[in-house]
Every structure is written in structure tokens, then in C-alpha cells.
């Protein structure tokens, strides 16, 4: 059962990595450059769960390779207990298999350990603002996006690739279709705003409306629904309007 989020430390970060030197460097970067504070460090999955329970951080950064348990399993356990706590998976490689399992575990972002500090800080800020950079990463890698869609379709009941709209499923407005089309091209909220000459907040409002109408919770689910109905194609320059 998920625990209450009433005591979440809105500026608190949990670092989970079994290399002390890396944790130290990451702590310094986060505290000196991001205006956040590291509430705890952990080197194992068990310690991570204990520290999350004690400190209720707003965000967790988890190394994919931990002693005794994978970071993916830690992320999955954290999401089960604290659904509102986003997690960033840290990896030595940008591997499609790892990215896919990170998505399935509920990670908000997937970042390589050699990423530029400013890009990591930007990812952290975007997540704390409610974005999921991992969705943009997925749709920017067409082969991986197609693989994810195939896996989602495999576990879905029946083949709904050409299914009609379900009862209560509202058609999207032309502007919402434009936004969804940009999402299919792998654009971030800021890039969508620049492309459509609207504000970033307006983009967020349209995406929220799309989620509501399609009864989904994130970009990947929205694209899964749209691709199945032939509305968009991953990586396409222009998709079919409803």
C-alpha cells in the first residue's frame, strides 16, 4: 500500500549508488547548483527503502547497478510505496533494454552517468515541475518506441489497432492533435511551445486535456492509444487529424 505524501520534503533528494565517490560528487552538484538538499544516501536497495521512509524525499536518483539488487527493482519498489516520488535511473550506458525496463518500473528519467552536469540539473528541475523526460527519450528513439508499443499491445486485451472510440472517449481538438503530433516527434514541452507559438503552460494544459480524454496517465500511454487508432506515427513529421 502506498504511504501518505503529506510529509514529503519538497526540496529533498535521495541518492542511491554503491560508489561513495560518485555519491559525494552528485551531492555537491545537487546542493551547490540546484538549490536542493540531499536528505540521505544509500548504497543498497534495503537502505534506499529505509531512507525513503524516514525522509520522504521529493526525488530519488538511483544507479541501475547496485550490489545485490538492480536499481530497476529499487525504482519499482519506491514507486509501489510512494507513487508521487519520481525517480531518475542513472546508468553507464544508454541501453534500450535498460530504458525499457526503467519505463516499465515507473522511472521519470533515464540519464547516463557521463551526462553534462547542466543537463542533469535541467532534468531534475523538469521532473520537479511535473514532467517525465523519459517519455521524450522514448519517442526520440523510434525503434525503442515501436518495441514498447508492441509490448504494451501484447499485454492489452485484444487487438485494438483499428478499434472505434470507446464510449466516453472524447475526440481531440485540432490543437490537441497538433500537440500530440509534436509529442510523437519526440519534442519536449518547451520545443512544442516554440513550434506552435504558444506558452509552455498552454502546452501542459493541452497535454493534461489529452490525458483526460484518452484516460491515460503519461505520454507513452497517450501515444500507444493514438498509434493504435492510426492518429499518429512515432517520429512522423505530421500525423492524421481526428
Residues 6+ apart with CB under 8 A from 60: 13, 14, 15, 16, 48, 52, 75, 78, 85, 86, 87, 88
- As its CATH architecture, domain 9-130 has 3-Layer(aba) Sandwich (3.40)
Domain boundaries, the chain: 9-130, 140-228
pLDDT by residue, tens only, the chain of 242 residues? 444 445 778 889 999 999 999 999 999 999 998 889 999 999 999 999 999 999 999 999 999 988 888 899 999 999 889 988 999 999 998 888 899 889 888 899 999 999 999 999 999 999 998 888 887 787 777 778 777 777 665 544 444 444 455 545 557 888 999 998 888 877 888 889 999 999 999 999 999 999 888 888 788 778 878 877 777 776 655 554 44
CATH C-level class of 140-228: mainly alpha
Amino acid at each position: 500500500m502506498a504511504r501518505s505524501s503529506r510529509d514529503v520534503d519538497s526540496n529533498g533528494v535521495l541518492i542511491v549508488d554503491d560508489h561513495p565517490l560518485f555519491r559525494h560528487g552528485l551531492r555537491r552538484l545537487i546542493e551547490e547548483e540546484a538549490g536542493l538538499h540531499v536528505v540521505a544516501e544509500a548504497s543498497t536497495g534495503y537502505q534506499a527503502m529505509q531512507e525513503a521512509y524516514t525522509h520522504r524525499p521529493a526525488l530519488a536518483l538511483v544507479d541501475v547497478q547496485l550490489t545485490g539488487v538492480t536499481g530497476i527493482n529499487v525504482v519499482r519498489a519506491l514507486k509501489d510505496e510512494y507513487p508521487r516520488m519520481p525517480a531518475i535511473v542513472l546508468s553507464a550506458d544508454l541501453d534500450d533494454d535498460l530504458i525499457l525496463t526503467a519505463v516499465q518500473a515507473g522511472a521519470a528519467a533515464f540519464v547516463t552517468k557521463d551526462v553534462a552536469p547542466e543537463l542533469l540539473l535541467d532534468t531534475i528541475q523538469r521532473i520537479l515541475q511535473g514532467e517525465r523526460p523519459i517519455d521524450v527519450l522514448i519517442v526520440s528513439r523510434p525503434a525503442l518506441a515501436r518495441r514498447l508499443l508492441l509490448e504494451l499491445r501484447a499485454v492489452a486485451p485484444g487487438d485494438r489497432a483499428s478499434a472505434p472510440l470507446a464510449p466516453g472517449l472524447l475526440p481531440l481538438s485540432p490543437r490537441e492533435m497538433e500537440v500530440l503530433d509534436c509529442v510523437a516527434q519526440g519534442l519536449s514541452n518547451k520545443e512544442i511551445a516554440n513550434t506552435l507559438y504558444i506558452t509552455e503552460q498552454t502546452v501542459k494544459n493541452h497535454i493534461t486535456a489529452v490525458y483526460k480524454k484518452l484516460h491515460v496517465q503519461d505520454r507513452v500511454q497517450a501515444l500507444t492509444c493514438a498509434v493504435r487508432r492510426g492518429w499518429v506515427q512515432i517520429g512522423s513529421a505530421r500525423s492524421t487529424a481526428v
